[in-house]
Structure 1
Amino acid sequence: MKKHWGTGLYVVALAAALTACGGGTGTSSPTTAQGTTAASAPAGTSSSAVPAGAAVLKTGPSAAGRIVVDAKGMSVYFFTKDVKDSGTSACTGACVAAWPPVLTESATPAAEGVTGTVATIATPEGKKQVTINGLPVYYYAKDKAPGDITGQGVNNVWYLVGPSGDMLKPAAGGY
């Protein structure tokens, strides 16, 4: 019985941590640029950084319009709890499991079609997290295929990134 309480408390603590960072379920339905869903592992959630000189970001089509994606077409997101030009990420602890940072090995990451200012900040582990217009960008672990935008609007704190580096919040009636 004691073992079950420990497991239950762990699950409750993990759920609370994910909810605090916006890792709960969102209000948007899973959608891809192709209109399908896939079951493969998210290409963008790899812990390896994009090599120096490689295009880290580009723009691509989605149900929300043209957005910023990584070189593999995986959507990237802003977190409204981040502070512009602070040099730090507000997504820490359990949040990072649901919202992995977009990493690079280059201090000046390449971006095709992105007109916002692209740079990096240091993660607590000493890696380089990509920023756009002074805000860190992230993947959503539940996005499984290029074009997925399942993280859009999660807990009203996670939003897609537009090509100019703007946060894409849906209008009252949707896109």
Structure 2
Amino acid sequence: MIQQRIALLSAAGLAAALLLGACGSSTDQNATGTSPGSTAPVATGPSPSATSAPAGSGDSGTGHMATTTMLMAKTVQGMGSMVTDDKGMTLYRYDKDQPTPSKWTCAGECTKTWMPVMVQDSVQVMGVEKNLVGTVHRDGMKQATLGGWPLYRYMGDTKAGQMNGQGKDKAWYAVTPSGRKSTMTS
């Protein structure tokens, strides 16, 4: 019974990601690729399963995206508690983005390395301050935010628990459950 639910939820999540990838893009970006967006509330609570799959790119050259239904705190060996997606992949924030109001600046080629973390109508949390979780509009979809900072996955992290993007270009940092950037180095 549980395996059937997991399979159904996984299939539904993948189908949703593919449908979102097929949607057109928004035209409300300015020339710098910055979209002010607005923060929207998200539902919280425990979830036994979730999915994460890349979505296609929009007409604006958005690049790659990752979808998730859960943000959770995980202890990364030697690094402390960081936020991961439902697959255990470390999530990052970008110092050039703005938390208030939430704005993303990573666009085009940037999203081929740093995939925006997209969510549906709700996202579950475990060990993350739920009042800090929100979304910002991005190309007709919703990008997850924590403490107002848009969240990303790094293409260089190939398995759960890796933090290969930590400190990249002195602008990309793993995000802590309180929405702050990690200052830890490996």
Same fold, TM exceeding 0.5? Answer: yes
Cα deviation for residue 84 of structure 1 reads 1.1
1:139 counterpart = 2:139: no
CA drift at 1:44:
5.6
Q: SS of the residue aligned with 1:155? A: helix
Please name the residue that 1:157 is paired with: 171
2:52·2:67 contact (CA, 8 Å) conserved in 1? no
Q: What amino acid does structure 2 have at the position aligned with 1:120?
A: T
Identity of aligned residues (%): 31
Structure 1 runs of 4+ off > 6 angstroms? none
Q: TM-score, normalised by structure 1?
A: 0.65
Superposed displacement of residue 161, structure 1:
0.6
Query: For residues 1-175 of structure 1, what are the structure 2 equivalents within 5 Å?
Result: 46-47=54-55, 49-50=67-68, 54=69, 56-62=70-76, 63-106=78-121, 108-115=122-129, 117-123=132-138, 125-170=139-184, 174=185
Q: Give the strand-richer structure, 1 or 2.
A: 2
AA aligned opposite 2:86: A
Which string of whole-angstrom CA distances, capped at 9 and with x for unpartnered residues, describes residues 111-147 of structure 1?
A: 1100160000111x21110000111010001100000
For structure 1, the residue ranges without an aligned partner over 5 or more in a row are 1-42
Take 1:169 and 1:118, find their aligned partners in 2: how far apart are those partners?
21
> How far, CA to CA, are the matches of 1:90 and 1:122 in structure 2?
12
Aligned length: 124
Which structure has the bigger radius of gyration? Answer: 1
Measure how far apart 1:49 and its partner are.
3.0
Aligned-partner Cα distance in 1 for 2:148–2:182: 16
SS at match of 2:98: coil
Contact 1:99 1:138 survives alignment (8 Å): yes
Name the SS for the 1:81 alignment partner: coil
**8 A Cα contact 1:132 1:165, kept in partner:** yes
Cα 1:74–1:44, aligned 2, differ >3 Å: closer, same or farther? farther
Structure 2: gaps spanning 5 or more residues? 1-50, 56-65
What TM-score, normalized by structure 2, do the two folds share?
0.62
| Higher mean C-alpha deviation, range 86-95 or range 142-151 | 86-95
Cα pair 1:104 1:128 within 8 Å, conserved: yes
Note the C-alpha offset of 1:45.
6.4
